[in-house]
A and B are shown apart, each in its own frame.
Chain A
Amino acid sequence: MLVRTQNLAKIYRQGKVETPALRGVDLAVEAGEFTAVAGPSGSGKSTLLHLIGGLDLPSEGEVWLEATRVDRLSRAERARLRLYKIGFVFQAYNLIPVLTALENAAFVLELRGMPPRERNRRAHEALQALGMAELANRRPSELSGGQQQRVAVARALAARPRLVLADEPTANLDKKTGLRLIETMRRLNREAGMTFVFATHDPRLLEHARRVVWLEDGRVVGEERR
């Protein structure tokens, strides 16, 4: 089992107001899955991904990544876990503005302390696999939304994490670009064996998912395997 959550709950508190985002979610993801977490806005999709990735801590319940209990780790330990085992692709604001596409793709490897030549080679290969090699020296402001998302995926590809968490990766993309991104992620899942868990309500993306977990009001209300 790659990911397991047990009775996972998250309540956001603002002053005296409490807003439950997740209410006892049990989820298990095997290595190599291409899983979509679907549901309407506010159903808790992003929160679930954030808790799995250790970006936030649950109010209740447990999160496991392989044999590691994520919610018991310190802030620094969670950061190191993400560095070595988890890749993220967000809906927007995926890239560091002052770095080029190549530097962005190599950034995680740089944080891991990989020598420049090696990390640049791997980042370049990743960009090439995503058809972005020619734009390697461009900064994010010089790239379209779809190109930026592909660089974010290239970053995950170059880092070769056990798990890629993608939060609405196609939400800001036009149909054609969105489809290309979905195909790319699917290909990486098939060929590189990377496990993808993505939050989405994009029907195009849901079509390609091998498994869909439906969330509503912070609860799992259904599951579909294909």
Chain B
Amino acid sequence: MIALAWRNLWRARARSLLTAGVVALVVALGLALLSFTWAAVNGYFATFTARIGHLVVRVENYEKRPLVERVFPAGTRAEVLRVLPGAGVEGRLLWPALVAGERRSEPALLTGLEPGGRLARSLLKGAPLEGGAVLGRALAVRLQKRPGDLVYLYLPEALGEGSGLLPVAATVELLEKNEERAFLALPLATASRLAAPGMVSELVIFLPGVVRFSQQARLELAQRRLSAALPGGLEVLRWDQTVPGLSGMVRVFHRMMLLFVGIFFLLAALILLNTVYLSLSERVREFGLLSALGMTPGRVFLLVYLETLMLTLVGALLGLLLGGAIHLRLARGFALPPEVAESYAEFGLPPVLYGELHRQDVLLVLLFALAAALLAAFWPAFLAARLEPARALRYVAA
């Protein structure tokens, strides 16, 4: 039966090859698209986590407390490093501020960052933090301040000095324009001295080697271990808990790509259906003969299914090779065309992306191919199985 199905497949060699080619193309495209999707997802993951860290230690009920009550001792860092040796840990201090120039003053959010740290690099895009205050470009415009000018800071309810006169070191543009209008960054030590000595609002943790969205399990493990070790009153959040909207966006993006792959396979199923149906219409008398010789309707159905599955399998294997080759190329790193990259960079997509495929993706694509074959073969197989042998043997192709 298998030999018969296989040989039947190659009777109309060109048509079978063409159909297998379509399946191969769809499988390869599916894999390439998923590899690209993961590249983009990982790109966003890297950008997001560079800004907010993989894990964050905060006081409990952080969002419900006023800013001035969100601080905790910076010395907690030692405990974090004990539990997660090798992790990068950076403190961040957030405090409400009033920043004033000669003519006007503006409310701002003071952000204390560690100079040279990942948070500073990611947020300030190379602007020097050591020389004084870094202002959001919009805030600087409102205050009519430029680098080198002086600004006066007042920090209400401060536990430290509470005020100071500082030079403007640089101005930066941020993704969020609302944030940019109130952005004021200082070196953590300075911010801490002014607002709350020895305290931080967050300890942002970067785990070494976590560069992919799919490494979530490692984050969950680290979160559990750290939560168990930290004193009461503090909580540990993962990046996707800190900003659930971002992780939700990443998941929606991945599902959309799966939907596209599904649509590709639906089209492939139609082409498969056409091929199987054509083959059936050319072999009506042969099916009559098979039935006359004693092949049961169930076996006729199975024969048509076997032929379709084999054709799909050949296409899928070719597609795996082609898709695998495309993926390996993408995995070495690729850049989007400059005009595309520029517009996506605004949303945090890095300039170079790295393709990634998971075993589940490959299985899913193969499952799609199998579903397409099962879908495409059903009607022709049903028709072939229901042929009355006497009528089929009299059949003359139109």
On A, residues with C-beta under 8 Å from B are 50, 53, 55-56, 75-76, 79-84, 86, 88, 90, 93-94, 96-99, 103, 107-108, 110-112, 155
A56 pairs with B295, CB closer than 8 A: no
Question: Which stretch (B42-50, B88-96, B285-293) binds chain A?
Answer: B285-293
Q: In the complex, which residues of chain B have a beta carbon less than 8 angstroms from the beta carbon of A155? A: 293
Q: Does B212 contact A (CB under 8 A)?
A: no
A107 pairs with B293, CB closer than 8 A: yes
From B286, which residue of chain A is reached at the shortest CB distance? A96
Q: How far is the CB of B384 from chain A (nearest CB, A)?
A: 13
From B10, which residue of chain A is reached at the shortest CB distance? A98
Q: In the complex, which residues of chain B have a beta carbon less than 8 angstroms from the beta carbon of A112? A: 294
B393 contacts which of A55, A75, A96 (Cβ < 8 Å)? A55
B294 pairs with A80, CB closer than 8 A: yes
B285 pairs with A84, CB closer than 8 A: no
**B2-39 interface code vs A (CB 8 A; 1 in, 0 out):** 01100110010000000000000000000000000000
From A94, which residue of chain B is reached at the shortest CB distance? B289
Q: How far is the CB of A180 from chain B (nearest CB, A)?
A: 23
Q: A75-B297, A76-B297, A98-B7 are in contact. Are A53 and B292 (CB under 8 A)?
A: yes
Q: In the complex, which residues of chain B have a beta carbon less than 8 angstroms from the beta carbon of A98? A: 4, 7-8, 11
Q: In the complex, which residues of chain A have a beta carbon less than 8 angstroms from the beta carbon of B297? A: 75-76, 79
B285 pairs with A93, CB closer than 8 A: yes
**Complex Cα distance A99/B293, Å?**
14
Q: Does B389 contact A (CB under 8 A)?
A: yes
In B157-184, the 8 Å CB interface with A consists of none
Q: A50-B390, A55-B389, A55-B390 are in contact. Are A79 and B8 (CB under 8 A)?
A: no
Q: A93-B393, A96-B4 are in contact. Are A84 and B294 (CB under 8 A)?
A: yes
The 9 A-B pairs with the shortest beta carbon distances in the complex, nearest first, are A83-B294, A56-B390, A98-B7, A55-B390, A79-B296, A55-B389, A82-B294, A50-B390, A76-B296
Q: How large is the interface on B (under 10, 10 to 19, 20 to 34, 35 or more residues)?
A: 20 to 34
A90 contacts which of B290, B298, B391, B393 (Cβ < 8 Å)? B393
Q: In the complex, which residues of chain B have a beta carbon less than 8 angstroms from the beta carbon of A88? A: 292-293
**B255-295 interface code vs A (CB 8 A; 1 in, 0 out):** 00000000000000000000000000000011001111111
Q: In the complex, which residues of chain A have a beta carbon less than 8 angstroms from the beta carbon of B51? A: none
Q: Does B193 contact A (CB under 8 A)?
A: no
**B358-393 interface code vs A (CB 8 A; 1 in, 0 out):** 000000000000000000000000000000111101
Q: In the complex, which residues of chain A have a beta carbon less than 8 angstroms from the beta carbon of B389? A: 50, 55-56
On B, residues with C-beta under 8 Å from A are 1, 3-4, 7-8, 11, 285-286, 289-299, 388-391, 393
B293 pairs with A83, CB closer than 8 A: yes
**Complex Cα distance A103/B296, Å?**
19
Q: How far is the CB of A167 from chain B (nearest CB, A)?
A: 9
**Complex Cα distance A97/B7, Å?**
10
Q: In the complex, which residues of chain B have a beta carbon less than 8 angstroms from the beta carbon of A96? A: 4, 286, 289-290
**Complex Cα distance A205/B326, Å?**
67
**Complex Cα distance A108/B296, Å?**
12
**Complex Cα distance A76/B7, Å?**
25
Q: In the complex, which residues of chain B have a beta carbon less than 8 angstroms from the beta carbon of A80? A: 294, 296
B291 pairs with A79, CB closer than 8 A: yes
**Apart from A56-B391, A82-B293, A96-B289, what 17 extra A-B contacts exist at CB < 8 Å?**
A50-B390, A55-B389, A56-B388, A75-B297, A76-B297, A79-B297, A83-B293, A86-B294, A93-B289, A94-B289, A97-B286, A99-B7, A108-B293, A108-B294, A111-B295, A111-B299, A112-B294
B298 contacts which of A76, A93, A99, A110 (Cβ < 8 Å)? A76
Q: How far is the CB of A200 from chain B (nearest CB, A)?
A: 17
From A47, which residue of chain B is reached at the shortest CB distance? B390
**Complex Cα distance A81/B291, Å?**
11
From A95, which residue of chain B is reached at the shortest CB distance? B289
Q: How far is the CB of B1 from chain A (nearest CB, A)?
A: 8
A/B interface sample: 10 pairs, CB < 8 A: A55-B388, A80-B294, A82-B293, A82-B294, A86-B294, A90-B289, A98-B4, A99-B4, A99-B7, A111-B295
**Complex Cα distance A81/B293, Å?**
10
Q: How far is the CB of B284 from chain A (nearest CB, A)?
A: 11
Q: In the complex, which residues of chain A have a beta carbon less than 8 angstroms from the beta carbon of B391? A: 56
From A86, which residue of chain B is reached at the shortest CB distance? B294
Q: In the complex, which residues of chain B have a beta carbon less than 8 angstroms from the beta carbon of A83? A: 293-296
